[in-house]
Amino acid sequence: MSFPASRGRRLRKTNAVRRLVKETRLSPSDFIYPIFVSEVITKPELILSMPGVFRFPVKEAAKEADRVFKLGIPAVLLFGIPKEKDDRGLRSLQSDGIVQRAVAEIKSLNPEILVVTDVCLCEYTSHGHCGVIVDGEVDNDTTLDILSAQAVSHAAAGADIVAPSDMMDGRVGTIRHALDENNYKNVAIMSYAAKYCSAFYGPFRDAVNSAPGFGDRQGYQMDPSNVSEAMKEIAWDIEEGADILMVKPALAYLDVIARAKQKFDLPIAAYNVSGEYSMVKLAAQSKLGDEKQLVFEILTSIKRAGANIIISYHAADVAQWLSEQR
Ligand code: PBG
């Protein structure tokens, strides 16, 4: 490159030229918006560890889903907070369970909203683990039966996509089989394929009260040091019938997203998790940076790394900001 023939600044001069050569653009269609729906409250309740995020009763959850859909966000991801927990998480299977009721309510309010449900036991078990405990350990194969029954009950309520986040082995195949057997062939699976054992889930566990009562999740969630293992997990889930593959968390795992995108031809989703969200909110509150700029930079980096879909608590704000931008 001979100076001064090449000058990068020519294409950075004005807002118009910068817009013209922009390589990565966020759109409301990129996003899935997570919603917490609770059986224990009668009006929306702010989650203290996640500034700006609420737990909603069923009716209000549906209204919130409709609000974000009207901002251009195609899908919501539901997490349930049940009234009662037990050692097997059986409240998660009932047709009048919190997620099942929320799915039905959203669909009756606006059937166009794409409804994704988190399939896991940790919100429903008294011990907070993502599976059933046998002999002091989270038992893989016993857990699979409950997870697939849960996925079928979400489908029966009207869910379009089920998203298993438990990290048991073989769950995608087992759930696919159960859905097909029950005639839910067109319900898709978004698998939390590469889900790391991360400290960034802290605020979420506070939101749904799912911190493990003993031990930790290292026996089933992935070691943050590993990336080849993530490719193996993704390949297994594709073989078992996953339709969308997720990497989670997002920001500390951009390399994993980039590799997954290069290696596989299915849509890649990235989960910009609760800890990533709350860090930005608290930083902005402390005037360490401008919230909107921080959010755009982070979410753009996730898309630039290769994510086709971003799950983010910032999504509603971003859709609003995009609609105001010219
Ligand atoms: C498990 C689940 C978790 C999250 C999504 N699904 C928590 C965990 O694995 O402990 C975390 C999401 C977030 O931090 O935003 N059902």
What are the boundaries of each domain within the chain? 25-215+226-325
Q: What's the CA-to-centroid distance between 114 and ligand 1, angstroms? A: 20
Alpha helices per DSSP H over 271-325: 274-285, 291-305, 315-324
> Right CATH number for 25-215+226-325 from 3.40.50.720, 3.40.50.300, 3.20.20.70, 1.10.287.110?
3.20.20.70
Instruction: Give the tens place of pLDDT for each residue, 98-107.
Output: 999 999 999 9
Please tell me if the CB atom of residue 222 comes closer than 6 angstroms to any atom of ligand 1: no
Residue 165 beta carbon below 6 angstroms from any ligand 1 atom:
yes
Q: Which helix (H) or strand (E) holds 152?
A: helix 140-157
Ligand 1 atom with least separation from CA of 201: 14
pLDDT (tens, 9 = 90+) of the chain, 326 residues, equals 677 889 999 999 999 999 999 999 999 999 999 999 999 999 999 999 999 999 999 999 999 999 999 999 999 999 999 999 999 999 999 999 999 999 999 999 999 999 999 999 999 999 999 999 999 999 999 999 999 999 999 999 999 999 999 999 999 999 999 999 999 999 999 999 999 999 999 999 999 988 899 999 999 999 999 999 999 999 999 999 999 999 999 999 999 999 999 999 999 999 999 999 999 999 999 999 999 999 999 999 999 999 999 999 999 999 999 999 86
Characterize the bridge pairing of strands 132-134 and 137-139: antiparallel
Contacts of 74 (CB under 8 A, 6+ apart): 28, 29, 31, 32, 113, 114
Q: For this structure, is 248 an active site residue? A: yes
What is the pLDDT at residue 326? 64
| Ligand 1 pocket check for 273: Cβ under 6 Å | yes
- The tokens for 318 are 């971003």
Residue 67 Cα distances to 11, 76, 106, 212, 255, angstroms: 38, 11, 11, 33, 33
User: Are residues 131 and 166 in contact, defined by beta-carbon separation less than 8 angstroms?
Assistant: yes
Given the residues 85, 195, 261, 281, the one annotated as active site: 195
Q: What is the pLDDT of residues 211-220, one digit of tens each?
A: 899 999 999 9
Q: What is the pTM of this model?
A: 0.97
Here the tokens at position 76 are 């919501």
Atom 5 of ligand 1, nearest CA residue? 165
CA of 204 to the centre of ligand 1 (A): 6
Any atom of ligand 1 within 6 Å of the Cβ of 122: yes
The residues pairing with 164 across neighbouring beta strands, listed in sequence order, are 119
